[in-house]
Amino acid sequence: MRSPLRLKKIGAGLFALITISAAGVRTTTDTLPAPIINRHSFELLLNSRYSVHSGFEDSLPEQILANVLWAMARVPCSGSYREFYVATRENVYRYQPATRSLTVHLAGDHRYYSGSAFEIGIATPRHEDAGMAIQAGLIAATAFRDETGGNVVCCPMKWAADYANSNWRPDHPIMLVNLFGNAPARHLDSTRAALSSDSSLPAPITKGTDTFELALMELTQDSLFSSGNLSIETISQLLWAGYGVTPHTTSNNRQGLTVPSAVAGYFLTGKIYLVREEGIERYHNRLPPGTNLTTRDHRLERLLTGDRRADLRQAVSRIPSTAPAYIVVCVDDTSSYRTMEEVGFVAFNLLMQAHILGLSAFLTMPLTPSERSAIQNALLLPSNHYPALVFSVGGTAVGIRERRARTETIQIVRAQPAVRRGYLRIEYLLHQPGMVRAEVFDLVGRPVRTLFEERQTPGYHSIVWDGTDENGRVVRRGTYLIAISSNGFVAQHKVNWAK
């Protein structure tokens, strides 16, 4: 029989219900509350992510546990099984996603760290799958912080996984354990740290428009794509989300990324490749030569010019054949748990970001040794860069799936209020594919210039206006209106021209 419910405050105006049995121990089976919807975007949570290794207390609202487990279970899995274990000071439990229930697996306190509020271990055949689920869980926990801070911190630990395998009696080996606790946490931070040293990539958006939990509810994979190449803004966003730099500095003074890493080793550095119509490029998140982990960058290095996508598709027949772009994630050691788990972290981030941008995306993993070798040969990769993941991404094919209704097709996400250095730049997010028209008007409504009219894929795009009219003459000083329209929707932005 349950005891009365106890309220524990999470943050400003938000409470969660905690169930305690009469004897202070959970009943044999207990149903967790449904996940709540926090108001933060996936991009903001990525930019604010960091690990806390110790020094926290063992009290957190049950709602956080409910959201974290729900998020972990929403992630695709390529293995034949996946088991979630939860250790608290009361018992070790098995989590059943279908019913959101916890069932006692092992009585007693078997936590790795006595300061943990709860520890979640995942058993699955592959480290990549474990990494995907762990990343989803830590982002879900970060969502309980806000602009003023919070009291939930976490850190994935291999030592805790070793302990769990020896003490939790799992049915299958536990790959990784994430520890959660109560401690003062930094506020959510939208500061852009990923700035390109050579202007090869525009700065990413660090405070997006879609709420993380709502986007995760609809997360799917698609292997069919529409025609049309991705914009450089969309490519920049995907690469940053997958493995981009953030404002966080680690304990060994390295610049943090959107994913955790064992001892901040960031073992995928310089091993992520973009394959598109223009050629093969390597993504760098560190300043040249790209190996100093204390530096920050966000750039592409062109390795080969020319379209090699057909070679990649021929190398592995399982790779979708119509994607306009592929991101190939490599490792230097396929037997290393720490590198393969990072592959999973990146995979989840890429899949989520693509989904939020309205794109189709598909993960090809795991790869067999022969497939890795074939990809290496097709793309002329270094001999010690072994492909572990191929991420296919592009516009959504018509009729593949329905998305939840949106109030607007176009959203302006970043824009200058006035002309700087002789031009204006506006960045916008297109939620649906279609014809897009961008025009300049004066405040009376008279047309000044049509900037473009073209079909565009979903994702981020940008407009640059140099302050001239249809005849190439510089306009008079004053206020002008930029209008971007598509599929019956119009987004507008006022700008002052004072040149």
- Asked if domains 6-31+51-185 and 212-395 share a fold, the reply is yes
Mean pLDDT calculated for residue range 25-48: 86
Does residue 431 surpass a pLDDT of 90?
Answer: no
Give pLDDT, residue 355: 94
For 262-302, how does the pLDDT look when each residue is reduced to its tens digit (9 = 90+)?
999 999 999 999 999 999 999 999 999 999 999 999 999 99
Residue 163 vs residue 435, higher pLDDT: 163
**Which of 194-198, 208-212, 350-354 is the least confident region?**
208-212
The domain spans of the chain are 6-31+51-185, 212-395, 410-497
pLDDT at res. 407: 54
Position 448 pLDDT exceeds 70: yes
Residue 23 has pLDDT above 60, yes or no: no
Of 277 and 420, the one with more pLDDT: 277
pLDDT at 19: 38
SS3 readout for the chain: CECCCEEEEEECCEEEEECCECCCCCCCEEECCCCCCCCCEHHHHHHHCCCCCCCCECCCCHHHHHHHHHHHHCCCCCCCCCEEEEECCCEEEEEECCCCEEEEEEECCCCCCCCCCEEEEEECCCHHHHHHHHHHHHHHHHCCCECCEEEEEEEEEHHHHHHHHHHCCCCCCEEEEEEEEEEEECCCCCCCCCCCCCCCCCCCCCCCCCEHHHHHHCCCCCCCECCCCCCHHHHHHHHHHHHCEEEEECCCCCEEECCCCHHHCCCCCCCEEEEECCEEEEEECCCCCCCCCCCCCCEEEEEEECCCHHHHHHHCCCCCCCCCEEEEEEECCCCCHHHHHHHHHHHHHHHHHHHHCCEEEEEECCCCHHHHHHHHHHHCCCCCCEEEEEEEEEEECCCCCCCCCCCCCEEEEEECCECECCEEEEEEEECCCEEEEEEEEECCCCEEEEEEEEEECCEEEEEEECCECCCCCECCCEEEEEEEEECCEEEEEEEEECC
Percent of the chain residues topping a pLDDT of 90: 72
The more confident residue out of 405 and 488 is 488
* Ranges 51-55, 291-295, 412-416, 446-450, most confident: 291-295
Residue 158 has pLDDT above 70, yes or no: yes
**Beta-bridge mates of residue 106:** 92
Mean pLDDT of 410-418: 83
Rounded mean pLDDT of 455-459? 90
Confidence at residue 308, expressed as pLDDT on a 0 to 100 scale: 97
Tokens 């936590």, residue located? 111
Q: Dump pLDDT digits (tens) for 463-483.
A: 999 989 999 998 988 888 899
Asked if pLDDT for residue 377 goes beyond 70, the answer is yes
Q: What is the mean pLDDT of the chain?
A: 90
Q: Of 455, 456, 448, give the one whose Cα is nearest residue 483.
A: 448
pLDDT at res. 414: 85
Per-residue pLDDT of 221-259, as tens digits, reads: 999 898 889 999 999 999 999 999 999 999 899 999 999
pLDDT digits (tens, 9 = 90+) for 314-348: 999 999 999 999 999 999 999 999 999 999 999 99
pLDDT class for 13, splitting at 50, 70, 90? very low
Q: What is the pLDDT of residue 488?
A: 79
- Which whole number is the average pLDDT over 186-208? 95
Specify the higher pLDDT residue, 81 or 402.
81
Lowest mean pLDDT among 130-134, 239-243, 349-353, 458-462: 458-462
User: What type of residue is 309?
Assistant: R
Q: Does the pLDDT of residue 83 top 80, yes or no?
A: yes
Return the pLDDT at 91: 97
CATH number of 212-395: 3.40.109.10
Tell which CATH classification among 2.40.430.10, 3.40.50.2300, 3.60.150.10, 2.60.40.4070 matches the domain 410-497: 2.60.40.4070
Q: What is the pLDDT of residue 422?
A: 75
Can you tell me the mean pLDDT for 150-171?
96
Identify the CATH homologous superfamily for domain 6-31+51-185.
NADH Oxidase (3.40.109.10)
